Amino acid sequence: MTEKTIGIIGGGQLGRMLAMAAARLNFRTLILEPQVDCPAAHVASEQIVAAYDDPAALAELARRCDVVTYEFENVPVHAAEKLAADVDVYPPPKALEMAQDRLTEKRFINGCGIPTARFHAIDSQADLEAALADFGGQGVLKTRRLGYDGKGQRVYRSTADSPEGGYAALGGVPLILESFVSFDREISIIAARGFDGAVACYDPAENVHRDGILHTSTLPAGISEQTAVAAREAADRILTALGYVGVIGIEFFALSDGSLIANEMAPRVHNSGHWTEAACVISQFEQHIRAVAGLPLGNPQRHSACVMTNLIGDDILALPEWLSLDDTLVHLYGKSEARPGRKMGHVTQLLR
Ligand code: AMP
């Protein structure tokens, strides 16, 4: 079981934290990432410097790894499928396919019996105008693919927001218009499924975004036990439907009546699960490594209330203050330049 090699596609901070967790369990890690000196390269065993869909690099990954996983959901599906013919790839490429396109994702989630916002596919300005009319002039227009951290989105709050030029403004690519959800709060659940079908869910986190980027995750979330159970059940259904192996992050809007509307899922470890490294014995990163390596899942129980805060751009200047706090775990990503909007690290304060 020891000295096996886990391949990780993507070398950002999530790959870095996966590599750290893997090392503790005696796994070697081989990162596939085109950027040299990436966050994961500092802690992984080795890096292949090549594009994510480079055929020679994928062949090398298959040859040298016992299992391959990924740290971001935009790994080209054809590359993941090709790789899966030669080596075990977890989570299954089908999960990538379902998560990469917001339209496919919503249809899949609805197919699992889980509500989402209402939606229309938008392929022209006429589609946009008809869909907005259907939603009373309100809605959130999003690119179907490659959107993240609120990028590639436009909000229509009322009929006073003119739809004119809306389709072209997002680049003339396939879009989706979602009905506007008046939510009470945003929550997410981090869940894992093992080889044997066992599912382990962490407690749902309550998330606050700033400028479309996650700012804080707080535990416990201000939701009822019934709402928490609904989040767990939704995660269980999604994981089972995908024959999933690994950790997934699923985001929801919680309404004032306690019901949940699923927003999106990420077939990977998730920013809103970073708190698990401080407030649980087994972090989401170790859980993912355990799952993809075929080891038993760890107990996801939380031992403390906590709040995780992302350090974005210049937030990193407050590092001395964070380091001086008790019960506070600081985690930095090894990025030298603090550009605006760039995730530089995070801190988790245990509340006790
Ligand atoms: P997303 O990229 O889908 O995670 O959206 C980014 C953020 O925009 C979410 O975290 C919400 O705060 C907000 N948002 C997204 N979709 C909707 C919606 N349909 N209704 C209301 N707010 C939304």
DSSP string, 198-217: -EEEPPPEEEEEETTEEEEE
Question: Is 151 labeled as ligand-binding?
Answer: yes
Average pLDDT score over the chain: 96
Tell me the C-alpha distance between 95 and 97, whole Å.
5
**Terminal Cα distance for the chain, rounded:** 38
Ligand 1 pocket, residue 186 CB under 6 Å = yes
Question: Is 150 labeled as ligand-binding?
Answer: yes
Q: Is the pLDDT of residue 201 over 60?
A: yes
Ligand 1 pocket, residue 105 CB under 6 Å = no
Question: How far, in Å, is the centroid of ligand 1 from the Cα of 209?
Answer: 10
Tell me the C-alpha distance between 141 and 154, whole Å.
5
Q: Edge-to-edge strands of the sheet including 46-48?
A: 46-48, 28-32, 5-9, 67-70, 88-89
Per DSSP, the three-state class of 91 is coil
* CB of 247 closer than 8 Å to CB of 291: yes
* CB of 200 closer than 8 Å to CB of 287: yes
Ligand 1 pocket, residue 209 CB under 6 Å = yes
Q: Is the pLDDT of residue 1 over 60?
A: no
Question: How far, in Å, is the centroid of ligand 1 from the Cα of 205?
Answer: 16
| Encoded tokens for 53 | 């869909």
Q: Is the pLDDT of residue 335 over 90?
A: yes
CATH superfamily, region 185-351: ATP-grasp fold, B domain (3.30.470.20)
Question: How far, in Å, is the centroid of ligand 1 from the Cα of 181?
Answer: 8
Average pLDDT of span 181-197: 97
The tens digit of pLDDT for each residue in 66-104 reads 999 999 998 999 999 999 999 999 999 999 999 999 999
Helices (H) and strands (E) in the chain, counts: 11, 18
* CB of 68 closer than 8 Å to CB of 89: yes
- Give pLDDT, residue 204: 98
Hey, where are the domains in the chain? 5-89, 118-178, 185-351
Ligand 1 pocket, residue 264 CB under 6 Å = yes
Q: Assign domain 5-89 to its CATH architecture.
A: 3-Layer(aba) Sandwich (3.40)
Strand partners for 208: 216
Q: Whose CA is nearest to atom 16 of ligand 1?
A: 140
Under 8 Å CB-to-CB from 27, ≥6 apart: which residues?
2, 3, 4, 5, 6, 289, 293
| Encoded tokens for 318 | 């407050």
* CB of 246 closer than 8 Å to CB of 91: yes
Q: Is the pLDDT of residue 261 over 70?
A: yes
Per DSSP, the three-state class of 239 is helix
Which residue among 140, 148, 256 has the greatest number of ligand 1 atoms within 8 angstroms of its CB, and so is best to mutate? Answer: 140
Q: Is the pTM of this model over 0.75?
A: yes
Per DSSP, the three-state class of 137 is coil
Where do we find the tokens 């990954």?
A: 61
DSSP summary character for residue 40: G
Which residue among 138, 183, 250, 263 has the greatest number of ligand 1 atoms within 8 angstroms of its CB, and so is best to mutate? Answer: 263
| Encoded tokens for 241 | 């439907």
Question: How far, in Å, is the centroid of ligand 1 from the Cα of 21?
Answer: 31
Question: Is 142 labeled as ligand-binding?
Answer: yes
Q: Is the pLDDT of residue 2 over 80?
A: no
Tell me the C-alpha distance between 284 and 213, whole Å.
20
Question: Is 181 labeled as ligand-binding?
Answer: yes
Question: Is 186 labeled as ligand-binding?
Answer: yes
Question: How far, in Å, is the centroid of ligand 1 from the Cα of 102?
Answer: 12
Question: Is 209 labeled as ligand-binding?
Answer: yes
Question: Is 106 labeled as ligand-binding?
Answer: no
Tell me the C-alpha distance between 316 and 71, whole Å.
23
- Give pLDDT, residue 202: 98
Question: How far, in Å, is the centroid of ligand 1 from the Cα of 257?
Answer: 19
Per DSSP, the three-state class of 317 is helix
The tens digit of pLDDT for each residue in 29-65 reads 999 999 999 999 999 999 999 999 999 999 999 999 9
Q: Whose CA is nearest to atom 15 of ligand 1?
A: 140
Ligand 1 pocket, residue 180 CB under 6 Å = yes
| Encoded tokens for 129 | 């105008």
Average pLDDT of span 237-248: 98
Question: How far, in Å, is the centroid of ligand 1 from the Cα of 95?
Answer: 21
- Give pLDDT, residue 237: 98
* CB of 39 closer than 8 Å to CB of 335: yes
DSSP summary character for residue 303: -
Q: Give, for 229, the enclosing helix (H) or strand (E).
A: helix 225-242
* CB of 144 closer than 8 Å to CB of 102: yes
Ligand 1 pocket, residue 348 CB under 6 Å = no
* CB of 61 closer than 8 Å to CB of 67: no
Ligand 1 pocket, residue 140 CB under 6 Å = yes
Question: How far, in Å, is the centroid of ligand 1 from the Cα of 145?
Answer: 15
- Tell which phi-psi region holds residue 334, choosing left (phi > 0), alpha (psi between -120 and 50) or beta: left
Domain 118-178 adopts which CATH fold? Dna Ligase; domain 1 (3.30.1490)
Q: Which of 297, 345, 341, 294 is nearest to 323 (CA)?
A: 345
DSSP for 251-308, written as a single string? EEEEPTTS-EEEEEEESS--GGGTTHHHHBSS-HHHHHHHHHTTPPPPP--B-SEEEE
Q: Which amino acid is at 341?
A: G
Average pLDDT of span 307-332: 98
Q: Is the pLDDT of residue 150 over 90?
A: no
